[in-house]
Structure 1
């Protein structure tokens, strides 16, 4: 039932009850002034605005109550005329006003009864206690309805917030999956394709057939690696695989193959360190990205890789080349190393890329057992 319909029914109910109570005086041999019915209608009509103007309804009902008795209309008690107004005030949140008004009305009515010479024991022991109990129950009912409504509203609000939070969590999870996929595509397939491109240049510049064939074989191997990474990525999307399944500290050594074939002097030293799988994967990808950028952009001829503990609980990863110390493309925003920075930061570590004494230095410090998974960090798009 809508609130408006409830108020209309309450208007009709109050009017009918007050009219019936007033007309009961006629059944006991007294005449009823027609204005008493008009008064009953007036108090009933006030119920139509009880939600928007509860205090006004309470004040007008109180004035109507006193004016009714002042006009000499038939006695209809105390609680019945003001019960609906007190209930409405309490329901709309004006509990104190309802209590104060009820005390004033009951006290005033009791005083008039005592001044008329009625028995104090009857007035106080019977009428006062009965009216007080009925009025207290009315106010308590209105207040309980308000409290119940507010509890339902808060429950609905919490439910909406939880639903919204669940939707946001789903969106965030999808975004993280996309970032993870973008990072994987860049780190693995991007690396393999870069190596293939490098070997194709070597094949084009080869002086004899043997060198050219060896370069072509390396191109085929790099493309095969890219295809394998692509299949693994598809398996992850289908829910039957995992990223970085072959990336770890024990695989860093094999990253020397591509630069060595390209004519670089490569020195790789990896200390045996017990680290979390995501830390090992991040270290592997960091070295891979640094080597790839050296192959793409550096004019140096040597690469030095160091991976090991810097202090208890902190893994150090350092890749140095001997290229010209000019601003390299790999540290510009939007490329793979930016994704590496986010991956390292997601594990609670730090990454610095800067010019060294004879070339560029990529240096990272990563906790061996991070509190949060590195997959929580975003990455660049490929």
Structure 2
């Protein structure tokens, strides 16, 4: 089970799902019968009119404890145990097998984890068993308490299994609904953006063919537009889960730098550990480099950019620098969605991202933990 489910189950109370109305009425009948034969002489008559005052009061406590055990099981357990011990100390016989301390164990075991229920019941049940150790029927008293505790724990385990199944079914339904909504959004995004990019690539290719005798720079720019458009479609399909995972990081970065305009001269430096990055780390590095270079092209007049990736025993370090003008109004046009997106990608992997001006340009630095 997921952690959230486990935490929710810990706060779940099985007794909350049980209608208590007629069960409390049934407990009152059992309490009346038990109290009627609780303390008596040879005829097991009702004991409210005979015996010591402590025994007479114990009958009332027994009745209240048994009648209210579903509403307050711990209080009923302690009250019933105290009444039993009081009758024993008064020297009167106990003829109801101390049900006032046994039956609350069923509800206590159902409404508390087994370890907690055992800790809460240890003292009152131990006092009852110690008080009745020398009385006839002690073995039956022990059996009644043991069976009551076992029934309570077994009921809780059964209800927990049923609750887990119910929650698992609810999570599965929610997962299916979410998957369906994601599939619908993916189809809409693929159709809308895919159509626009395809039209753009087609027009760029047509223009390039029409300018077969034109300027080489213009033809090169159109070829680059075609290539970037096709790569964008590939990225879109992969993000939407329609294609296989991305190519190796070094190939992806080389292709990314090759598609930059001629005015920006990039350099790439990767160490041997770059090939060992996990797929989420490699994807985050590629997207952060892509967004950083996009910001360089959009917001500066830089002519050079450097991408450097190093891996250490504990962290992966990435830096993207350019030689554009120092930070100024050019870096503040519109909301900084790009920086927020990059920081989110780094934070999702437990890393950090800093960005800011340098003496000769702009720098983006990322640190990702190796594990």
Taking structure 1 as the reference length, the TM-score comes to 0.55
Q: Contact 2:285–2:318 at 8 Å: present in 1 too? A: yes
CA pair 81-214 structure 1, distance change in 2 beyond 3 A: closer
Kindly state the Cα deviation for residue 291 of structure 1 after the two structures are TM-superposed.
0.8
User: For 1:323, what is the secondary structure of its paired residue?
Assistant: coil
CA distance in 1, matches of 2:307, 2:25: 77
2:15 is matched with which residue? none
- State the match for 2:254 in structure 1: 253
For 1:56 and 1:312, locate their aligned partners in 2 and report how far apart those are by CA, in whole Å: 63
Residue number among 267, 286, 289 corresponding to 1:287 in the alignment:
289
CA contact (8 A) 1:249 1:283 kept: no
Aligned counterpart, 1:12: 33
The CA deviation string for residues 62-94 of structure 1, in whole angstroms up to 9 with x for no partner, is 88899998xxxxxxxx34266445645877742
Change (3 A) 1:88 1:155: closer
Q: Following superposition of structure 1 onto structure 2, how do residues 339-378 of structure 1 map, counting pairs within 5 Å?
A: 339-347=341-349, 349-366=351-368, 370-371=370-371
| Residues 169/85 of structure 1: CA separation in 2 closer, same or farther (3 Å cut) | closer
Q: Name 2:137's counterpart in structure 1.
A: 134
Q: CA RMSD in A?
A: 5.5
Equivalent residues in 2 for 1:80-159 (5 A)?
Answer: 80=95, 83-85=98-100, 87=102, 93=121, 94-99=124-129, 101-102=131-132, 132-142=135-145, 144-146=147-149, 148-150=151-153, 152-153=155-156
Q: Report if the CA contact (8 A) 2:307-2:318 is conserved.
A: yes
Aligned equivalents of 1:6 and 1:272: distance in 2?
Answer: 75
State whether residues 65 and 82 of structure 1, in contact with CA within 8 Å, keep that contact through their aligned partners in structure 2.
no
1:97 Cα shift?
4.2
Q: Is the 8 A contact 2:40 2:95 kept in 1?
A: no
Q: What is the alpha-carbon distance in structure 1 between the residues aligned to residue 41 and residue 312 of structure 2?
A: 92
Distance in 2 (CA, whole Å) between partners of 1:339 and 1:257 is: 24
Distance verdict in 2 for CA 1:10–1:350, change over 3 Å: closer
Alignment pair present for 1:230 and 2:236: yes
CA distance in 2, matches of 1:54, 1:348: 50
Partners of 1:59 and 1:315 in 2: how far apart? 66
Give 1:292 shift. Answer: 0.6
Q: Could you tell me how far apart the structure 2 residues matched to 1:144 and 1:152 are?
A: 12
SS at match of 1:259: coil
Q: CA deviation at 1:57?
A: 5.6
Indicate if the aligned counterparts of 2:319 and 2:364 stay in contact, CA closer than 8 A: yes
* Structure index of larger Rg: 1
Correspondence 1:264 to 2:260: no
SS at match of 2:247: coil
Secondary structure of the corresponding residue to residue 138 of structure 2: helix
Whole-angstrom distance in 1 between the partners of 2:81 and 2:270: 84
Q: Aligned pair 1:49/2:64, yes or no?
A: yes
Encode CA deviations 1:261-281: one digit per residue, 9 max, x unaligned.
Answer: xx4241323346232243433
Extract unaligned runs of 5+ from structure 1. 24-33, 70-77, 104-128, 372-382
**TM-superposition CA deviations, 1:274-311 (whole Å, max 9, x none):** 322434333322221111111111132x1222334365
Residues 307 and 317, structure 1, Cα contact 8 Å, conserved in 2: yes
What CA distance in whole angstroms lies between the structure 1 residues aligned with 2:315 and 2:80? 73
Contact 1:11 1:44 in 2 (8 A): no
Q: Is residue 330–residue 336 contact of structure 1 (8 Å, CA) maintained in 2?
A: no
Do the aligned partners of 1:331 and 1:353 also contact (CA within 8 Å) in 2? no
Q: Distance in 1 between matches of 2:131 and 2:79?
A: 12
Asked whether the equivalents of residues 54 and 85 of structure 1 are also in contact (C-alpha less than 8 Å), the reply is: yes
Structure-1 separation of matches of 2:144 and 2:267 = 80
Kept in 1: contact 2:268–2:307 (CA 8 A): yes
| TM-score normalised per structure 2 | 0.56
The answer on whether the counterparts of 1:283 and 1:317 sit within 8 Å (CA) in structure 2 is yes
After TM superposition, the structure 1 stretch with the greater mean CA deviation from structure 2, 152-161 or 275-284, is 152-161
Match in the other structure for 1:335 = 337
Asked if the contact 2:305–2:320 (Cα under 8 Å) also holds between the matched residues in 1, the reply is yes
Count residues in correspondence.
297
